[in-house]
Amino acid sequence: MTHDLLVRLGPLLAAEASAEAHATGTEPADLEQAVWLRLLEHLRADGPPADPHGWLRRAVRAEARRTRRAHRRERPYAGDPADDGDRDPAQLALAAARGRALRAAVRRLPGRCPRLIEALLSPRDPTYREIAGELGISQGSLGPERSRCLGCLRRLLAPEVAARTGRG
């Protein structure tokens, strides 16, 4: 039953998301992914909608509105609040060494992780939308991909980073 519903709604969702995505400034695949999530939440809570096609059209429009509101609220990051310019040379040298160690570990990451982490560390502070366009992946995939890459980075850095204080 649920599989048949998903198969029947797939083409309609693709068309609706494609029509709405341009106005939201997002990728159709990201909009589709968000609506599929809403549908799964609805199926879990209330079962299948009485009018699946109507529900899907309303859900796409609601998700498009939510996305437009979120994009209007997005602001670029102003800078590093820790960069007060009053650090002594020893602190600057330590920070530079940590930065070099981090960049070296990032270069050792597998797959497209180095490009993703470099984009996240970029001083120009790109948005997820810009990073997704740069890497050629959907914006909705960035979060899970970022989590996976950060997990790999943690494992790479774990032997290099010693605990500063004892536990317990």
Q: pLDDT for 38-61, tens place per residue? A: 998 988 899 888 999 999 999 999
Domain end (from 17, 38, 71): 71
- Give the count of domains, the chain: 2
Domain-embedded: residue 23: yes
- With contact defined as beta carbons under 8 Å apart, do 56 and 42 qualify? no
* One domain, residues 9 and 50: yes
* One domain, residues 100 and 152: yes
* One domain, residues 42 and 101: no
Tokens representing 153 are: 């980075």
Nearest to 112 by CA among 140, 146, 157: 146
Domain-embedded: residue 126: yes
Domain-embedded: residue 40: yes
H or E element, residue 83: none
In tens, the pLDDT along 101-160 reads 888 889 999 998 999 999 988 888 888 888 998 888 888 888 889 999 999 888 888 776
Which pTM was predicted? 0.47
* One domain, residues 56 and 103: no
Domain that holds residue 135: 89-157
Domain CATH number, residue 121: 1.10.10.10
* One domain, residues 121 and 147: yes
Rounded CA-CA distance 53/5 in Å is 10
Rounded CA-CA distance 27/12 in Å is 16
- With contact defined as beta carbons under 8 Å apart, do 68 and 31 qualify? no
Rounded CA-CA distance 141/148 in Å is 11
Domain-embedded: residue 80: no
The pLDDT value recorded for residue 128 is 87
